[in-house]
């Protein structure tokens, strides 16, 4: 506790230094958290190069922007804080109360409520980002990680890694109204943009479970198979869908590939070789480029979405984890 | 007979802890009218054995703490599924009446996690009351228990010595360190581990240049730098492998060898089911949850007991509709079927070998400060799963009790 208390002022002290760093290029950027470097690498989308590095709290993982992109939220897991950062200057604005060990989060469409998975505590914390207060803590399964919110803002999903289930939470009452089992070790959850389906990846199970969002009924599972790769090593983790819900890109962890999935048909179309242990990803809003973090090789693979091709590898920090786009 | 009454009383006190766990779960919905599940933990506490160093005393709750965490994990999951979980604990002192405790444990009618030496385990499995029971061996590494002396009602979550030796052998062969010098202690377990290394050498194409018994029974703590070099002179070798499962003298050998060679086996780089440096694949979370619960680091015995409890939890939850999750036979059939899989924080899904009930699992190779590698080592292939390159494979296991039982 005393260590944590010391860290916060230290980071505030660092903030003015980062403000001296050159301001980013004018174009769009991808912000990548480096879990083992306590820093964010900022990639310029046009030049596909790292333009600056922003120091943040300990063990940064989940990362997202406010709707107007004026604030960056970062899960600084080992600092036990969600940090709010000014992306223009890199300065730490303040910490949000987050509960212990925040790993991943999702920002509600109201741009105000932040739902945080507290991995070590088996709870999800709901924070009001404006009032900087905790609205609720919800008991969930062991090691919550995947977080999703329905496009209409009514349903929040938390997946628990060790309990292997998705918890369906009423966003207004903060009560769990359904629990659905998935295959072993769920890591990531997302609704389709039309809000009709929920997808959940299972790392050890090797599948994606697709649910009807209205009924919580399991519609089907997607499996993966790559010639010459041991099936045990094909471990789906992060994924993203194009804005028209036609394609999904799924990082397959130690299989070192990203799968391209036809969303309506739930069929794998292609596999793209990327770096080592791809983890999470961010897509440009025009669906042109996909940026995949490769945890073990410490780089980011840029994929041309239309061509379904890796076009560049960008070296970032140690153990890149999350990625977020801003204009 | 009276000696285990004390254990029973202790067990009863611990049952309260299990009840507290269930109460903790009541914060969540669906805990009322929960369906109650139980797991039994049965331990034969080993007689204390003097070793040269007092640095690493055996924790009193070795294994037990892992079972407690596994049941807590089951409860955390089960509260969303209308299940409550508790652990009944039976710990028999070294001189206690194991058979009486075993009978009481079996009378619970629930799956049993056994932390006991091979002879006690077999006595438990062969009791008339154990027919149709589901017993998990979470401590005995003896290969015989997976081979000729296997029992249909016993599954194994602790790796066998052959699995550990094969893991170490794969690493050494991959590095082309294929000339091994083996020093073994005088205990039967030390000999068994050295035998497993000899088998692994033949299996993977390494050579034991010399196998020797550790000759001293003196206290070498202060004389290791003068004694050990004399005792480690041997024909040219790439690595020195020590077999001293009690960790009596082996800790004094590294750096005191005659030749500048690395040390592996029960000291130096060790093949284990689990150890403090294992942190990848989400293992850091399991380590920290265990530390919060037990106030110490998680060991292989704790991991094996945790895995047994979790396997029961998974089987109960995933059992096909219409099967009774309280029936040990139904659970066993599910555990041995292709439908069972479990996350185990070692990067691959865990499952049971249908031909002898051994839990398939990666074997970390660790030194006290870091993970060196994890077997199966890349390049050692298998027609079904590389995990089965570790230990006795189906054609060579020779476990009659499991024939026609798996899929």
CATH number for the domain that contains residue A300: 2.130.10.10
* Residue ranges of chain A whose pLDDT lies below 50: 1-25
- Please report how the helices B64-78 and B300-318 are oriented relative to each other, as an axis angle in degrees rounded to 10: 30
Q: In this complex, do B285 and A120 lie within 8 Å of one another by their Cβ atoms?
A: yes
How many Cα atoms within 13 Å fall on the side-chain side of residue B125? 24
Place B32 in a pLDDT band, splitting at 50, 70 and 90: low
What confidence tens digit (pLDDT) does each residue in A232-270 have? Answer: 899 999 999 999 999 999 999 999 999 999 999 999 999
What are the tens digits of pLDDT across the range A176-232?
999 999 999 999 999 999 999 999 999 999 999 999 999 999 999 999 999 989 898
Residue pointed to by tokens 């209308």 = B82
Minimal Cα–Cα distance from A7 to chain B, Å? 21
Does B403 lie in the same domain as B283? yes
User: Is B174's pLDDT higher than 50?
Assistant: yes
**B69 touches B290 (CB < 8 A):** yes
For chain B, give the mean pLDDT: 91
A235 near A252, Cβ under 8 Å?
Answer: yes
- CA dist., res. A167 & res. A162, Å (int): 13
Nearest chain B residue to A296 by CA: give it: B280
- Domain end marker among B237, B271, B305: B271
Contacts of A164 in chain B (CB under 8 A): 77, 343
Cβ distance A303 to A283 under 8 Å? no
B169 has a pLDDT exceeding 60: yes
Q: Is A29 on the interface with B (CB under 8 A)?
A: no
Rounded to 10 deg, the angle between the B3-25 and B64-78 helix axes is 30
Distance (Å) from the alpha carbon of B56 to chain A's nearest alpha carbon: 28
- Is B382 an 8 Å CB contact of chain A? no
Q: How far apart are CA B182 and CA B214, in angstroms?
A: 10
pLDDT on residue A26: 65
Q: For the stretch B20-39, what's the b/e string if a residue is b when 16 or more beta carbons lie within 10 angstroms of its beta carbon?
A: ebbeebeebebbeebeebbb
B348 — contact with chain A (CB < 8 Å)? yes
ipTM for the whole complex: 0.84
Pairs of residues, one from chain A and one from chain B, whose beta carbons lie less than 8 Å apart: 68
Quote the domain boundaries for residue B78. 1-159+273-407
Pairing mode, if any, of strands B154-156 and B135-137? Answer: parallel
Please tell me if residue A143 touches chain B, with a CB cutoff of 8 Å. yes
Q: Do B287 and B144 reside in the same domain of the chain?
A: yes
The rounded distance, in Å, linking the Cα atoms of A58 and A95 is 13
Does the beta-carbon distance from B77 to A141 stay under 8 Å? Answer: yes
B84 with B148, same domain: the answer is: yes
Contact A167 B386 (CB under 8 A): no
Partner-chain contact B343 A232, CB within 8 Å:
no
Which of A179, A226, A190 lies closest to A206 in space, CA to CA? A226
Do B98 and B112 lie in a common domain? yes
The answer to whether B145 and B118 have CB atoms below 8 angstroms apart is: yes
- Reduce the DSSP state of residue B325 to 3 states and report it: coil
Orientation of helix B188-204 relative to helix B161-174, angle to 10°: 40
Q: What is the count of structural domains for chain A?
A: 1
B219 and B296 within one domain: no
**Could you tell me which chain B residue has the CA closest to the CA of A184?**
B343
Based on the domain organization, do B10 and B148 belong to the same domain? yes
Q: How far is A157 from chain B (nearest CA, A)?
A: 14
| Whether residues B52 and B182 fall in one domain | no
User: Is it true that the peptide bond before A282 is cis, omega within 30 degrees of 0?
Assistant: no
Does residue A249 contact residue A236 with C-beta atoms inside 8 Å? Answer: no
Q: Distance (Å, rounded) from C-alpha A114 to C-alpha B225?
A: 60
Q: Which residues of B touch A204 (CB under 8 A)?
A: 341-343, 348-349
Identify the residue with better confidence: B33 or B250. Answer: B250
What are the CA-CA distances from residue B292 to residues A233, B65, B288, B289 (Å)?
Answer: 31, 11, 6, 5
pLDDT confidence band for B379 (50 / 70 / 90):
very high
How far B146 CA sits from the closest chain A CA (Å)? Answer: 24
Among B80, B341, B342, whose Cβ lies nearest the Cβ of A167?
B80
pLDDT at B8: 35
Q: Which of residues 271-290 of B touch A (CB under 8 A)?
A: 282, 285, 288-289
Residues 215-254, chain B: which have Cβ within 8 Å of A?
none
Asked if residue B7 and residue B144 are part of one domain, the reply reads: yes
* Res B404: pLDDT: 61
By the CB < 8 Å criterion, does A218 face chain B? no
Query: How many angstroms separate the CA of residue A234 from the nearest CA in chain B?
Result: 10
Please give the residue range of the domain that contains residue A122: 2-326
Count of domains for chain B: 2
* Best-predicted range by mean pLDDT (B8-17, B19-28, B96-105): B96-105
CB B120 within 8 A of CB B97: no
- Residue B217, judged by CB atoms within 10 A of its CB (0-12, 13-18, 19+), counts as exposed
Residues 106-135 of A with CB under 8 A from B: 119-120, 122
pLDDT at B222: 84
Same structural domain, B237 and B292: no
What pLDDT, on a 0 to 100 scale, did the predictor assign at position A228?
A: 87
């Amino acid at each position: 506790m005393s260590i944590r208390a010391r860290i916060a002022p230290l980071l505030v002290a660092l903030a003015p230094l980062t403000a001296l760093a050159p301001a980013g290029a004018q174009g769009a950027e991808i912000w990548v958290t480096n879990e083992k470097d306590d820093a964010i690498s900022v990639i310029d989308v046009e030049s596909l190069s790292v333009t600056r590095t922003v120091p943040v709290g300990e063990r940064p993982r989940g990362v997202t922007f406010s709707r107007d992109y004026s604030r960056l939220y970062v899960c600084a897991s080992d600092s036990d804080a969600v940090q709010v950062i000014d992306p223009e200057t890199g300065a730490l604005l303040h910490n949000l109360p987050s509960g212990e060990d925040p790993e991943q989060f999702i920002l509600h469409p109201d741009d105000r409520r932040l739902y945080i998975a507290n991995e070590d505590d088996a709870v999800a914390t709901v924070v009001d980002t404006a009032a900087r207060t905790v609205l609720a803590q919800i008991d969930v399964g062991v090691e919550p990680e995947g977080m999703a919110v329905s496009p209409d803002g009514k349903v929040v999903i938390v997946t628990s890694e060790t309990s292997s289930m998705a918890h369906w939470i009423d966003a207004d009452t903060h009560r769990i109204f359904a629990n659905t089992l998935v295959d072993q070790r769920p890591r990531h959850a997302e609704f389709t943009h039309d809000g009709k389906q929920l997808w959940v990846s299972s790392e050890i199970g090797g599948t994606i479970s697709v649910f009807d969002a209205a009924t919580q009924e399991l519609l089907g599972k997607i499996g993966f198979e790559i010639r010459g790769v041991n099936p045990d090593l094909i471990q789906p983790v992060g994924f993203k869908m194009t804005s028209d819900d036609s394609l999904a890109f799924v990082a397959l962890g130690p299989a070192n590939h990203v799968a391209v999935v036809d969303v309506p048909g739930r069929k794998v179309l292609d596999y793209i070789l990327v770096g080592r242990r791809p983890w999470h990803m961010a897509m440009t809003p025009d669906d042109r480029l996909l940026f995949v973090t490769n945890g073990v090789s410490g780089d980011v693979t840029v994929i041309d979405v239309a061509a379904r091709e890796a076009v560049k590898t960008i070296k970032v920090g140690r153990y890149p984890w999350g990625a977020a786009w801003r204009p | 007979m009276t000696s285990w009454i004390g254990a029973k009383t202790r067990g009863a006190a611990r049952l309260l802890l299990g009840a507290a766990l269930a109460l903790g779960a009541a914060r969540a919905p669906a805990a009322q009218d929960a369906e109650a599940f139980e797991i039994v933990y049965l331990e034969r506490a080993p007689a204390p054995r003097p070793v040269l160093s007092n640095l690493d005393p055996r924790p009193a709750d070795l294994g037990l703490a892992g079972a407690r965490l596994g049941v807590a994990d089951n409860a955390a999951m089960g509260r969303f599924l209308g299940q409550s979980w508790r652990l009944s604990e039976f710990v028999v002192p070294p001189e206690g009446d194991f058979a009486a405790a075993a009978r009481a444990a079996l009378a619970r009618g629930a799956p049993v996690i056994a932390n006991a030496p091979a002879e006690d385990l077999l006595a438990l499995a062969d009791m008339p009351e154990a027919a149709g029971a589901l017993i998990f061996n979470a401590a005995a590494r003896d290969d015989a228990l997976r081979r000729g002396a296997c029992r249909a009602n016993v599954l194994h979550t602790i790796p066998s010595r052959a699995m550990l030796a094969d893991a170490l052998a794969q690493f050494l062969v991959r590095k082309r360190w294929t000339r091994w010098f083996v020093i073994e202690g005088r205990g039967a377990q030390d000999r068994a581990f050295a035998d497993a290394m000899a088998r692994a050498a033949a299996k993977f194409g390494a050579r034991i240049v010399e196998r020797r018994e550790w000759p001293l029974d003196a206290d070498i703590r202060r004389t290791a730098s003068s004694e050990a070099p004399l005792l480690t002179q041997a024909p040219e070798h790439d690595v020195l492998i020590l077999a001293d499962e009690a960790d009596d003298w082996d800790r004094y050998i590294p750096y005191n060898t005659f030749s500048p060679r690395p040390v592996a086996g029960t000291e130096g780089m060790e093949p284990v089911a689990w150890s403090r440096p294992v942190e990848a694949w989400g293992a850091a979370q399991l380590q920290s949850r265990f530390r919060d619960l037990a106030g110490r680091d998680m060991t292989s015995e704790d991991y094996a007991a945790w895995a047994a409890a979790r396997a029961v939890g998974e089987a109960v939850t995933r059992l096909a509709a219409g099967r009774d999750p309280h029936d040990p036979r139904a659970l066993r059939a599910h555990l041995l079927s292709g439908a069972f899989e479990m996350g185990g924080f070692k990067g691959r899904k865990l499952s049971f070998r249908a031909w002898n009930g051994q839990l398939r699992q990666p074997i970390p190779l660790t030194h006290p400060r870091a993970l060196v590698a994890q077997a199966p080592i890349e390049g050692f292939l298998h027609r079904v799963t590389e995990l089965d390159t570790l230990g006795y494979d189906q054609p060579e296991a020779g476990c009659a009790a499991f024939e026609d039982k798996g899929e």
